A and B are shown apart, each in its own frame.
Chain A
Amino acid sequence: MRLSLRKLVPAVAAALAFSAGAAWAQKTELLVYTALETDQLKAYTESFQKTNPNIDLKFVRDSTGVITAKILAEKANPQADVILGVAASSLDIFKAEGLLAPYAPVGFDKLNPVYSDKGKPPAWVGMDVFAATVCYNTVEGKKKNIPKPESWADLAKPVYKGQITMPNPASSGTGFLAVSGWLQGMGEAAGWKYMDRLHANVAQYTHSGSKPCRQSGAGEFVVGISFDFRGNDVKQKGAPVELVFPKEGLGWDIEAAAIVKTTKKMDAAKKLLDWVATKEANEAYAKNFAIVAHPAVKPALPHLPADLEKRLAKNDFAFAAKNREKILAEWQKRYDAKSEPKK
């Protein structure tokens, strides 16, 4: 009974509001496709609605892969108004498909231009950066006498044999950013050679970018190659992990936002993008990410280094996008075909 009442009250309220609608300013509803975490969505919505109480945000939230596939499948008649918190590598695909409406939000000139699309106006606006990060389980490490790694090179040493998991780059964007980071940082030939040696140590290529760090946190495997947000999150939840940021440099990607060209609510969509570029919004991102687009916002996260930005590898998005298919084909040829663990 209580449940039905609880449903009834908003329904009646909605009906009343609707009939009184003429007198009130109409509420606009934006359909936002996102890969952000649910708790982030809550915080971001609150912050956005402080300045835009008349715009409601409705989210379709899923993993980056599912959201990207869904947007591309809906190409003939896009449903979303705004894409929020999706990897820049996906947004570049949408841009190439002509799905985005370029827009420079108010205050865009204050953002670090490195983290947004280079077009004028930009097709997508950067929010924050996520970077490859290694999780190392101290309890299991001690038990098995496996030292904490300091560099990518360390991970290729025989002592880590069968103790490492990393995302499969063919399934996960996080996997791809790590691979693309190695290839760009070490050079292609040396990069592949490195991965050959790493492959000998990898116990599992997972289908999700968060999984390896979780597995490390749960002690299933000692070392997991994942990304900084997830590492921070796992450690915060009490897992005995240390986060390692290999000194050779970290592969990285950007979480960004964009307006879908076909939206019928362009004004509201622009308002949301304006919010994305504000300092307040960047402060909200800074609760989860160590690098944000607004240079004046300095995140201070307990488990992430303040100078994470300096540890990023050079990353040419054009190179990554152009060579993605080639890299994945090569990767699958080398490691996927024989990936059943050998004992």
Chain B
Amino acid sequence: MATTPEPAFGTALPGASSLVGRIRAPRLRNHWSDRIGIALLVLAGAGLAVFFLAPLVTILLKALQDRSGAWVGFANFTTYFQTPALAQSIWNSLWVSVMVTAIVIPLAFLFAYALTRSCIRGKALLRNIAMVPILAPSLLAAISFIFWFGNQGIAKALLGDAQIYGAKGIVLSLCFATFPHALMILVTALSLTDARLYEAAYALGTPRWRRFLTITLPGAKYGLISAAMVVFTYALSDFGIPKVIGGNFNMLATDIFKLVIGQQDFGKGAVVGILLLAPVAITYAVDTWVQRRQSALLTARSVPYVPKPSRGFDWLMSAYCWLVAALMLAMIGMAVFASFVKFWPYDFTMSLNHYRMGLVEAGIFEAYVNSVTLAAFCATFGAAFVFGAAYLLEKTRGAEGWRPFVRLLAVLPMGVPGMVLGLGYIFFFVQESNPLHFLYGTMAILVVNTIVHYYTSSHLTAVTALKQIDNEFEAVSQSLRVPFWVTFHRVTVPVCLPALLEISRYLFVNAMTTVSAVVFLYSPKTTLASVAIVNLDEAGDIGAASAMATLIVVTSALVCVAYYFLQTWLDRRTQAWRQS
């Protein structure tokens, strides 16, 4: 989130909300527009229940059934837990995820720190380069590392006798793939800090390291924890990377593949799915706990921090950022390069063969058009729904019992592996008796599935942005008898536009690359480019796979540029609104 810190929305009446709340409460609670708010919130929650919870429960219930569908209690659990490879898989998944988190969070934090607290040049460019991995399918990092460090890799000598296949390759590739996710959250977190604290510290002569430890870190605590959770769950459930570069390294995600795709044992696959949900449940608990403590830290009168030049520090930060950017470019660049190489590693002539033969002649181009359509739908409807639901959740009142339920449904998708979600969709929507069966095999089901799959990050972004706006706006408009949608339209949306665009962009780029869930749901009319990449890689056409991936990266990059211009244009318009 490139959200520059909003100017302080200082209110003339500090504590107005509590005052208004106390005096007018009985009449306000009865305002008719509140009821519409509640109705909409119930509707949003019902939507999530139908399109996320119901399919999830349908597939998880398979954990209690044998292959023929008979109820067998916990038999699947017991047999699965007796698999000798299991303990190894759990252990591998855990330590890899912990290690990736431990590497990525400090690196991304430093990068975000440089972007928000130093005066280095080319911040926008650096930030965009650092976001590049998110534009590519996660397995691209793995493919790229094989071209770099595989047995025929260009830089194989650097590894000595060691092999890139296995834990090393997985950790490295995951670090690249998760870096932008962490960066997004950390930049937002660091932008939110109150400059007045630094001014006070500066006036008192507090040294830089101490300011960092006592102001910066505590201020970014919530962001750090969220980022760590996102990276951890991503590493835990990603399957593309271990499949391509993991060699014989077993993880829970590869276990699911073996069970579901290799052996069609949905029962045991569901058991692993349940295991993977556990960390998210913990995330939810931690998240609620941290949020409760965090809300007191931010006030409406914060002043945005403006970094001051400091030559040595800026130079150091600049060097670090460009080093990271260079690594990112080396990663993506290798894949692009490989897509032009005629026959790796025996014929390094440049050619367009992979694009022509792999893509156009194999008829995969149509899949590309479908992917763009899917991404466009997700970017518009998805962003609108996610943001609307988050608004209703954060800013309206009433139906207090229903809210935690909706909140839980919003964060759970993060922990559901795509394969589990995809199968759940089949089991749930394929039944003729389901009134929503007509969606099966359409573009609509792919859109809904993709939005649900990427719901959590989008939701967290929306909530972070909404929390920046003082609730006093809602209180004041209510006291003026203005229905909430007028406030939403006039205040919330304009103020949150950067975040709204961020969500929309996030959904777009992810829809371009998503595989694991939609692989079960596409129909002859809705084949997707991302699925084609996996198939090409599986058939061994790594060149064509890289070509398709390059096409996706270029498309998403262009779309990001378009978003950038849209945002500048909108900023100018909303700026005028802010000053009036």
Contact = CB atoms under 8 A, between A and B. Distances in A.
A237 B426 CA distance: 37
Contacts of B431: 76-77
Contacts of B430: 73-74, 76-77, 79
A272 interface: no
Given A211-B540, A219-B345, A39 B362 contact: yes
| Size band of the interface chain A makes with B | 35 or more
Contacts of B279: none
Nearest to B79: A329
Contact of A170 (B163, B263, B346, B540): B263
Interface string A114-132: 0000000000000000000
Contacts of A221: 151
B51 interface: no
Interface residues of B, number: 59
A213 B243 contact: no
A207 B165 contact: no
B522 A237 contact: no
A263 interface: no
A328 interface: yes
Interface string B256-292: 0110111110100000000000000000000000000
Contacts of A157: none
A240 interface: yes
A298 B471 CA distance: 79
A215 B345 CA distance: 11
Interface in B150-184: 150-152, 161-163, 165-167
B440 interface: yes
Interface stretch (A57-65, A304-312, A313-321): A57-65
Most interface-central of B162, B426, B441, B519 (chain A CB within 10 A): B426
Contact of B248 (A214, A237, A341): A341
B84 A332 contact: yes
Given A77-B430, A219-B345, A336-B250, A69 B535 contact: no
Contacts of A210: 538-540
A25 to B, nearest CB: 22
A292 interface: no
A168 B261 CA distance: 12
A171 interface: yes
A333 interface: yes
Contacts of B343: 237-239
B146 interface: yes
B85 A60 contact: no
B529 interface: no
B347 A238 contact: yes
B427 interface: yes
Contacts of A217: 540
A106 interface: no
Interface string A163-185: 00000111110000000000000
A333 B84 contact: yes
Given A77-B431, A210-B539, A68 B264 contact: yes
B489 to A, nearest CB: 33
A263 B261 CA distance: 25
Interface in A218-256: 218-221, 230, 234, 237-240
Contact of A38 (B166, B250, B363): B363
B254 A207 contact: yes
Nearest to B153: A220
Nearest to A173: B262
Contacts of A204: 165, 247-248
Nearest to A175: B262
A70 interface: yes
Interface of A: 31, 37-39, 42, 58-63, 65-66, 68-70, 72-74, 76-77, 79, 93, 139, 168-172, 203-205, 207-208, 210-211, 213-215, 217-221, 230, 234, 237-240, 325, 328, 332-333, 336-337, 339-341, 343
